[in-house]
């Protein structure tokens, strides 16, 4: 039963727990010292959750899903040329909910590209194979011979000097079960940090390097050429969203190699601690795919994790990524 683990009904954890804010514990939570386990509500989510609870849009229907992120959008056909006022509302909904889910959208690759271009210029990924006729679409075709290696929390392409603003992913073929994508609100993750950690990371910069995740895809003898083409990128550890003003954790274990000016071991430990905030379930939203589901996410606001639990089934997706601005 859900109540069996309640610290108020179990003498052991209640006696072992502490709620001392000076110990780095968020308000309203307690710690089981023996295991370093924090329990209780994340009170800092309440304001954002309340703000998003009652959407008001004139041209689209928006149904909130998660506490601070995730909404299903209906009443639009992404295969058509949408009026400017509809695109404007989709853009605002993206800023509010960070992830938008559109169901039953049998779009062609050309329609996918056309919709994505309504929000900005599109990237062409240098390492992942694209659609043969539309190179702006990265194609993820996973199955028996090609495993899914995206099952780690990350923002997309933070190794670029200018990472993606957002991404639009279309499900073409999905497994019968499994293959979900999880998202984490990195603004909520920052908000849950204790004051000492926020003070410690304020003003720090991290180095992001494509070689961490893509070294195995660089042809033999081409390392120096690719390094010259894609040098390491230096981004703030804490970024401010350029449109909403929210502060966000902007490091991940896929692409962040070290903290600039910090001893390697200490920097790796800090990166790991900050990246681990994405694992907090209360900050997450999970998309369960069906054929022709389209998901649009704000790559500045969220990290994502593609569950690799569907072997030997086939999972085919295509993604358009929209050029962003330099993190600050």
The confidence band for 147, taking pLDDT boundaries of 50, 70 and 90, is low
The structure's pTM equals 0.91
21: left (phi over 0), alpha (psi -120 to 50) or beta: alpha
Say yes or no: domain 45-328 is CATH 1.10.1660.10.
no
- pLDDT-based confidence at 84, cuts 50/70/90? very high
Return phi, psi of residue 256, to 5°.
-85, 115
Catalytic residue, chosen from 208, 246, 300, 319, is: 319
Q: What is the pLDDT of residue 319?
A: 98
> What is the tens place of the pLDDT at every residue in 110-135?
999 999 999 999 999 887 778 889 99
pLDDT at 20: 54
User: Taking phi first (over 0 means left), then psi (-120 to 50 degrees means alpha), and beta for anything else, what does residue 34 get?
Assistant: alpha
Catalytic residue among 154, 170, 208, 241: 154
> Is residue 156 flagged as an active site residue?
yes
Does residue 1 register a pLDDT over 80?
A: no
Annotated catalytic residue, options 160, 208, 304, 315? 304
Instruction: Give yes or no for a contact between 188 and 135, defined as CB atoms under 8 angstroms apart.
Output: no
Q: Which of 156, 185, 209, 298 is catalytic?
A: 156
H helix runs in 35-154, sequence order: 46-52, 84-97, 109-117
Residue 126 has what pLDDT?
82
> What's the mean pLDDT when you consider all of the chain?
91
- Find tokens 């386990």 and name the residue: 37
The yes-or-no answer on residue 304 being catalytic is yes
Lowest model confidence (mean pLDDT) among 15-19, 130-134, 203-207: 15-19
Query: How do residues 231-259 score in pLDDT, each as one tens digit?
Result: 999 999 999 999 999 999 999 999 999 99
Establish whether 51 is a catalytic residue. Answer: no
**Percentage of residues of the chain with pLDDT beyond 90:** 76
Rounded to whole angstroms, how far apart are CA atoms 70 and 93? 10
Which one, of 179, 171, 200, lies nearest residue 266 by Cα?
Answer: 200
Residue 272 pLDDT exceeds 80:
yes
Q: What is the pLDDT of residues 27-70, one digit of tens each?
A: 888 999 898 888 989 999 999 999 999 999 999 999 999 999 99
Residue 118 appears among annotated catalytic residues: no
Structural domain boundaries in the chain:
2-41, 45-328
- DSSP 3-state of 4: helix
């Amino acid at each position: 039963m859900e109540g069996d683990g309640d610290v108020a009904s179990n003498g052991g954890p209640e006696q072992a727990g502490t709620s001392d804010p000076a110990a780095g514990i968020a308000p309203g939570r307690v710690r089981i010292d023996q295991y370093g386990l924090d329990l209780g509500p994340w009170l800092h989510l309440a304001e954002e959750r309340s703000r998003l609870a009652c959407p008001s849009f004139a041209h689209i229907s928006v149904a909130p899903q998660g506490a601070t992120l995730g909404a299903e959008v209906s009443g639009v056909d992404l295969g058509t040329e949408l009026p400017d006022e509809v695109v404007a509302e989709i853009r605002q909904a993206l800023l509010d909910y960070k992830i938008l889910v559109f169901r039953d959208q049998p779009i062609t690759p050309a329609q996918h590209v056309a919709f994505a271009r309504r929000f900005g210029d599109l990237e062409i990924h240098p390492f992942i194979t694209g659609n043969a006729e539309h190179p702006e679409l990265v194609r993820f075709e996973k199955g028996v011979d090609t495993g899914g290696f995206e099952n780690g929390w990350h923002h997309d392409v933070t190794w670029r000097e200018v990472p993606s603003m957002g991404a639009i992913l279309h499900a073409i073929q999905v497994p019968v079960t499994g293959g979900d994508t999880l998202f984490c609100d990195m603004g909520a993750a920052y908000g849950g940090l204790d004051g000492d950690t926020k003070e410690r990371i304020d003003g720090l910069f991290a180095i992001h390097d494509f070689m961490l995740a893509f070294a195995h895809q660089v042809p033999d003898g081409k390392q120096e050429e690719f390094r010259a083409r894609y040098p390491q990128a230096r981004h703030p550890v804490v970024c401010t969203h350029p449109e909403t003003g929210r502060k966000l954790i902007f490091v991940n274990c896929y692409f962040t190699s070290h903290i600039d000016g910090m001893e390697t071991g200490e920097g790796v430990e800090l990166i790991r601690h900050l990246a681990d905030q994405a694992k907090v379930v209360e900050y997450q939203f999970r998309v369960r795919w069906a054929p022709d589901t389209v998901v649009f996410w704000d790559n500045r606001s969220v990290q994502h994790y593609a569950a690799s639990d569907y072997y030997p089934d086939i999972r085919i997706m295509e993604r358009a990524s929209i050029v962003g601005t330099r993190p600050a």
